[in-house]
Amino acid sequence: MFLGTYEKQLDGKRRLLIPQEFRTADNGAQNGVFCFFSIASDCLEAGGDRLMAEYVARIEALPFGSDERTAMEEAFYAAQRPLSYDSGGRITLPEGLCQEAGLGEDVVIAGMGPRFQIWDRKAWNARRAASRALARKVMNGETTRAAGEGA
């Protein structure tokens, strides 16, 4: 599982050091990660084999050729960038992904269980209070959102 939050910096070549704890065989990310613009948030989403399996299962559960399946295929498969680690454990983020997610030099890597997200630090800090408030509501049973619905 990808756990923890790490503040990092992108260098001039858009290289990002992925925490050593994230680069394991257990989560399928020992050689690299899959990375794409998040479907649910304004950040990048990444992970290993477990993440890939979860998205594949969700996509394959939809009727072939349906608008919903095509949208998911475009958002996940077509946007996918497999990224390998260099000898220092860094990935190089494509410029287009950095621009789409609004990443500056200072970023946050947030572990999210089977995946992790890469946020611009200012955007991450701006959303934290609202996210915590929603988590409190969930813990207190105050939400009516059905399981699996997006934010």
Q: Which domains does the chain have, with CATH numbers?
A: 5-120 (3.40.1550.20)
Q: What contacts 24+ positions apart, CB below 8 Å, involve 67-76? A: 72/39, 75/36, 75/37, 75/39, 76/36, 76/39
Output the pLDDT for position 27: 84
pTM: 0.87
Is a pLDDT exceeding 90 seen at residue 142? Answer: no
Asked whether the predicted pLDDT for residue 10 surpasses 90, the reply is yes
Q: What is the pLDDT of residues 90-129, one digit of tens each?
A: 999 999 999 999 999 999 999 999 999 999 999 999 998 8
Per-residue pLDDT of 46-99, as tens digits, reads: 999 888 999 999 999 999 999 999 999 999 999 999 999 999 999 999 999 999
Please return the burial class of 30, using the count of CB atoms within 10 Å of its CB with bins 0-12, 13-18 and 19+: middle
